[in-house]
Structure 1
Amino acid sequence: MTRKILLGAVAAVALSATGAFAADLPAYEPAPAVSAPAVPSFTWSGPYIGVQAGYAFGDTNISRIEPEGFIVGGYAGYNVQLDNSPIVFGIETDFNYSDVDDKRAGVRFQGDWTGATRARVGYAFDRFLAYGAAGVAYADREVRVRGIGSDSKTAVGWTVGGGVEYAAADNVAVRAEYRYSDFGKDRLLGRSVDGDEHRVMGGVAYKFDLGF
């Protein structure tokens, strides 16, 4: 009996000592999870400059004269996209060489250059941008009549259109655009001449990163 009592006492002391030792050990805490750094989303904000080319066709009030041809040139602008907003505002200007002309019965209508300054507003789907634009258009307008002579004016009118852009890289955007322009009336060779123009253009631009 005495032996059992002694063994029980030794076991009790051992268990008590083990519990005390375990209580003194530091508690284990898992290491905090490492979160990946946030990747900034794409923004359309900033200045850009690009080149473009396309095809134009139109009408005049000169009998059967319907000028058409190729256009090639450049454009530059500035966009502003507010934080966490898909709305993009901008302003853009362009200037182009024009090979648009037509000739009928000794009368030739042509224009050597064209340009516009427009306000833009668009809706961004991340790297896709759908936009509309409107503003002032200007173009060279020349009429030649065989046996009489020629006359030219800088026509000023209005333009409206829209298009889509895609940011193929953070600093490169490609676009496709349709534009309608009405250049109003000018007096050429003693006659009131008016005309309009439809054009389809494609372009590629470099967007500058301002760093803020």
Structure 2
Amino acid sequence: MKKFLLAVASIALGTASVQAADLAAQYTKAPVMAPAYNWTGFYVGANVGGQWGTANPATTTLFPVAAYFADSSVTAIGSVGAQRINSSSVTGGFTAGYNWQVNQAVLGLEGDINYFGFKGSATNTAVYPCCAPDTFTINSSVSADWLATIRGRVGFLATPSWLLYATGGAAIAEVKGNFAFTDTFSPATESGSIRDTRVGWTAGVGGEYAVGNGWSVKAEYLYVDLGRVSVTSNNLVAGAAEPAQTFTHSVDLKSNIVRVGVNYKFGGPVVARY
């Protein structure tokens, strides 16, 4: 009986030892964490969207001694010459910039050049208050083919891949305006033109998402104000030249831009995510 009990005890102890050895040999490998996207670096990209803009061309004249217009006509020309042009078009172009990531903040400098496509015209006609039924007509047209911006960006990371930002800086475009005045009294004609590279301002907001391997996609809104530019002329012809009659033509241009884009960032360190 004693021999039987010793045999059973030996078998039990051996089995326990094997199980303990098996348990000691088992372990779990720590999961490999994916690296976080790092926003620091130089990038290039392209964008496409739409612009919805307005221009407010204006034509005025003066009432000097021995000039062509009556005082009431000068007032009427100023009212009729205050016009409004709306324009909408597809816009698109190329972007380049550089970001610096500091913890959850991302600071950047970005520039772009785009097809702008602003174009429109307006025509108003009215009766001379002094001289009915004679009328006068003012034609205006405004266009801007391209737009460039140089902007700072200040953003924060909602997640390592989601960047939300505000942006603002300079907006640059060549603004062109053409103006023509005619009447049925003499008849009279006058014209003026503007072609000026304007430096205005822009501001907006946007979001950018890093999809990996240096690529990111973005959507943003920009408001653009190019200010007002003017020109004067003394080329009124009413039977004969009327050099004493001065006209002033001016135009401003503002636009709202919504666009989406894709960027590719070159190099830059990768930060491990823990």
**TM-score tier after normalising by the smaller chain length:** 0.7 to 0.9
Structural mapping, 1:59-74, within 5 Å: 59-62=54-57, 63-74=83-94
Contact 1:67/1:110 (<8 A) preserved: no
1: distance between equivalents of 2:269 and 2:106? Answer: 18
2: distance between equivalents of 1:174 and 1:59? Answer: 29
Matched, 1:207 2:265: yes
1:128 to 156, 162, 166: 162
Contact 2:171/2:202 (<8 A) preserved: yes
Greater Cα offset, 67-76 or 138-147 = 138-147
Structure 1 partner of 2:237: none
Residues 82-118 of structure 1 deviation map (CA, whole Å, 9 limit, x = unaligned) = 2xx2211111000111211111123211001101101
Q: Which amino acid letter does the alignment assign opposite residue 176 of structure 2?
A: E
Q: Alignment identity in percent? A: 33
Structural mapping, 1:48-63, within 5 Å: 48-62=43-57, 63=83
1: distance between equivalents of 2:48 and 2:230? Answer: 30
Q: Structure 1: which 5+ residue stretches go unaligned?
A: 1-10, 12-27
Contact 1:175/1:204 (<8 A) preserved: yes
Q: By how many angstroms is 1:174 displaced? A: 1.0
Structure 1 partner of 2:228: 185
1: distance between equivalents of 2:200 and 2:118? Answer: 17
2:120 to 102, 121, 131: 102
Q: By how many angstroms is 1:173 displaced? A: 0.9
Contact 1:55/1:199 (<8 A) preserved: yes
Structure 1 partner of 2:197: 154
Residues 113-155 of structure 1 deviation map (CA, whole Å, 9 limit, x = unaligned) = 1011011011112211111001111111001235735321011
Structure 1 partner of 2:104: 86
Contact 2:38/2:269 (<8 A) preserved: no
Structure 2 partner of 1:35: 30
1: distance between equivalents of 2:261 and 2:120? Answer: 26
Structure 2 partner of 1:115: 148
Contact 1:42/1:126 (<8 A) preserved: yes
1: distance between equivalents of 2:91 and 2:104? Answer: 32
1:140 to 174, 177, 188: 174
Q: Which amino acid letter does the alignment assign opposite residue 54 of structure 2?
A: D
1: distance between equivalents of 2:257 and 2:155? Answer: 20
Q: By how many angstroms is 1:38 displaced? A: 4.4
Q: Structure 2: which 5+ residue stretches go unaligned?
A: 4-20, 58-82, 124-138, 181-189, 233-247
2: distance between equivalents of 1:165 and 1:115? Answer: 20
2: distance between equivalents of 1:159 and 1:88? Answer: 20
1: distance between equivalents of 2:210 and 2:269? Answer: 18
2: distance between equivalents of 1:127 and 1:38? Answer: 15
Contact 2:171/2:201 (<8 A) preserved: yes
The 3-state SS of whatever aligns with 1:187 is strand
Q: TM-score, normalised by structure 1?
A: 0.78
The 3-state SS of whatever aligns with 1:72 is strand
Greater Cα offset, 172-181 or 30-39 = 30-39
Matched, 1:175 2:218: yes
The 3-state SS of whatever aligns with 1:66 is strand
Q: Which has the higher contact order (CA 8 A, sep 6+)?
A: 2
2: distance between equivalents of 1:168 and 1:33? Answer: 31
